């Protein structure tokens, strides 16, 4: 199409793979840094990929040499390597944004300065039972003990129901930097994908997410039974939070809708996000398309971020057997309007995201009805 700059992607998991799908449709070469044969590399044949890890300084340097703009599918990358190469290539979003966001406690301290509402929280310094008990007195029970770093899919969270749980909580999260959060009594979890371009902060509509064991299971787009005013308010809050960081691209913002209809930020991610997968079928531009356009300064018509049809997304998570995700996908083949995405990660492990299914329909009720048999299948496999 045009002689486009090359994009370097740190991480070749499912998010990188779906970014590559978007790049491919625009004739943009995506150079992926990850292990040989990672999901993203499997669908992209050229000699620009780099074998290694996004946590290795040398591998990041090598990727920087082969591309014009660098981005990441994950926030747990070596930001010191990114800082170093930022003088040679553009890094989007900025390494500063990724560094602050990858530590959930620092992320919250930063957002606090911008007046973003969040659950009250306390840093732990010594990680002793006495210290956590003192925090428990301040925050009350239950409270959520959280790892500041390397957290994903709830691996890094421990619900502390009472003082008696403290030893187990500290043992489960031992050797990790910790903070504790006041329990958020939410009636619903909401999420908004924000796209930061060179001169605008855009947002997709507000969606509803359902977590099971702290892992995203279902996404309803738009959020069900949420008044337009709250949809707008959640988008505004998400854009305000993302505006606190430097750099371009997609950011996933997770929020709690409380009983009194007020909103609280749960956390945000400096990348494309599971809660935005529905945009592939639900919107004219997917979150992956928009991310690539944003980092390359290509136009993004705001209209293209609107939901064209109500959508429901179901994650296919590794279950009881190594092939249970394939059985789920097989069922989905016969469901009307179901789009199947398998990530080609090989054998499943319990809790690992192996794929997702999106159903779109003229009404949310219809989409829910169509996907329900598949939700039942997935639930049975888990049980
Ligand atoms: P992700 O996979 O989204 O990165 P994570 O491991 O970083 O997840 P969080 O998003 O902080 O973890 O928490 C995961 C889930 O745990 C939330 O979606 C919510 O359901 C629950 N949760 C987190 N914090 C609280 C809280 N303060 N009160 C109640 N529930 C909470
Ligand atoms: Mg997280
Ligand atoms: Mg989360």
The string of DSSP letters for 341-354 reads: EE---SS--TT-EE
CA 115 vs CA 110, 281, 364: distances in Å: 10, 34, 34
pLDDT band at residue 2 under the 50/70/90 scheme: low
Inter-residue contact 38 to 100 (CB < 8 Å): no
- Backbone φ and ψ of 102, nearest 5°: -70, -20
Inter-residue contact 16 to 41 (CB < 8 Å): no
Ligand 1 closest atom vs CA 252 = 3
220 CB burial (10 A radius; 0-12, 13-18, 19+): buried
Q: Indicate whether 14 pLDDT > 90.
A: yes
Give the distance (Å) from ligand 1 centre to CA of residue 149. 13
258 lines ligand 1 (CB under 6 A): no
% of the chain exceeding 90 in pLDDT: 92
pLDDT in tens, 166-210: 999 999 999 999 999 999 999 999 999 999 999 999 999 999 999
Angle (CA) 48-50-53 rounded to 5° is 155
141 lines ligand 1 (CB under 6 A): no
Give the distance (Å) from ligand 3 centre to CA of residue 47. 35
pLDDT band at residue 263 under the 50/70/90 scheme: very high
CA 256 vs CA 117, 140, 184, 234, 374: distances in Å: 10, 19, 8, 10, 27
Give the distance (Å) from ligand 2 centre to CA of residue 47. 33
**Cα–Cα dist 180/130, whole Å:** 14
pLDDT in tens, 227-246: 999 999 999 999 999 999 99
pLDDT band at residue 383 under the 50/70/90 scheme: low
> How confident is the model at residue 324, as a pLDDT?
87
Give the distance (Å) from ligand 3 centre to CA of residue 153. 7
149 lines ligand 1 (CB under 6 A): no
Look up residue 306 and give its two tokens: 């609107």
pLDDT in tens, 69-127: 999 999 999 999 999 999 999 999 999 999 999 999 999 999 999 999 999 999 999 99
Give the distance (Å) from ligand 1 centre to CA of residue 214. 6
Tell me which residue has its CA closest to atom 12 in ligand 1.
154
Strand, coil or helix: 283: strand
Look up residue 108 and give its two tokens: 């919250």
Ligand 1 pocket mutation pick from 105, 265, 267 by most atoms within 8 angstroms of CB: 267
- Count Cβ neighbours within 10 Å for each residue of 158-169 and write b for 16 or more, e otherwise: bebeeeebbeeb
83 lines ligand 1 (CB under 6 A): no
153 lines ligand 1 (CB under 6 A): yes
267 lines ligand 1 (CB under 6 A): yes
- pTM assigned to the model: 0.97
**Bridging pattern class, strands 7-10 and 30-34:** parallel
127 lines ligand 1 (CB under 6 A): no
Give the distance (Å) from ligand 3 centre to CA of residue 336. 30
Instruction: Give the environment of ion ligand 3: residues with CB less than 5 A.
Output: 254, 267
Is the ipTM, as predicted for this complex, more than 0.85? yes
Give the distance (Å) from ligand 3 centre to CA of residue 261. 20
Tell me which residue has its CA closest to atom 9 in ligand 1.
154
- What does DSSP assign to residue 281? H
DSSP lists the bridge partners of residue 313 as: 219, 358
């Amino acid at each position: 199409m045009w002689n486009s700059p090359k994009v370097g992607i740190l991480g070749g998991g499912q998010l990188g793979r779906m970014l590559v799908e978007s790049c491919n449709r625009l004739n943009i070469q995506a150079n992926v840094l990850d292990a040989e044969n990672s999901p993203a590399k499997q669908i992209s044949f050229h000699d620009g990929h780099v074998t290694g890890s996004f946590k290795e300084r040398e591998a990041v340097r090598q990727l920087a040499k082969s591309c014009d703009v660098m981005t990441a599918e994950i926030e747990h990358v070596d930001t010191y390597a990114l800082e170093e190469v930022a003088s040679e290539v553009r890094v989007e979003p900025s390494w500063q944004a990724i560094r602050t966001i990858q530590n959930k406690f620092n992320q919250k301290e930063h957002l606090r300065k911008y007046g973003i509402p969040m659950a009250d929280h306390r840093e732990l310094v010594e990680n002793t039972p006495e210290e956590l008990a003192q925090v428990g007195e301040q925050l009350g029970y239950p409270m959520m003990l959280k790892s500041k770093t390397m957290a994903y899919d709830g691996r890094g969270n421990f619900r502390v129901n009472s003082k008696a749980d403290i030893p187990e909580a500290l043992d489960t999260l031992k050797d990790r930097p910790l903070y504790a959060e006041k329990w958020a009594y939410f009636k619903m979890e909401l999420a908004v994908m924000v796209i930061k371009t060179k001169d605008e902060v855009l947002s997709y509509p507000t969606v509803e997410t359902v977590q099971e064991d702290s892992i995203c299971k279902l996404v309803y787009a738009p959020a069900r039974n949420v008044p337009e005013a709250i949809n707008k308010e959640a988008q505004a809050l998400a854009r305000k939070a993302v505006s606190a960081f430097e750099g371009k691209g997609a950011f996933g913002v997770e929020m709690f809708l409380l009983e009194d209809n007020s909103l609280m930020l749960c956390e945000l991610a400096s990348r494309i996000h599971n809660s935005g997968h529905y945009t592939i079928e639900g919107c004219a531009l997917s979150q992956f398309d928009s991310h690539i356009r944003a980092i390359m300064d290509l136009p993004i018509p705001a209209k293209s971020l609107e939901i064209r049809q109500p959508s429901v997304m179901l994650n296919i998570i590794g279950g009881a057997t190594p092939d249970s995700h394939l059985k789920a996908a097989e069922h989905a083949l016969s469901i009307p309007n179901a789009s199947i995405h398998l990530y080609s990660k090989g054998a499943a492990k319990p809790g690992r995201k192996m794929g997702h299914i999106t159903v779109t329909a003229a009404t949310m009720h219809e989409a829910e009805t169509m996907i329900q048999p598949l939700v039942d299948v997935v639930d049975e496999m888990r049980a």
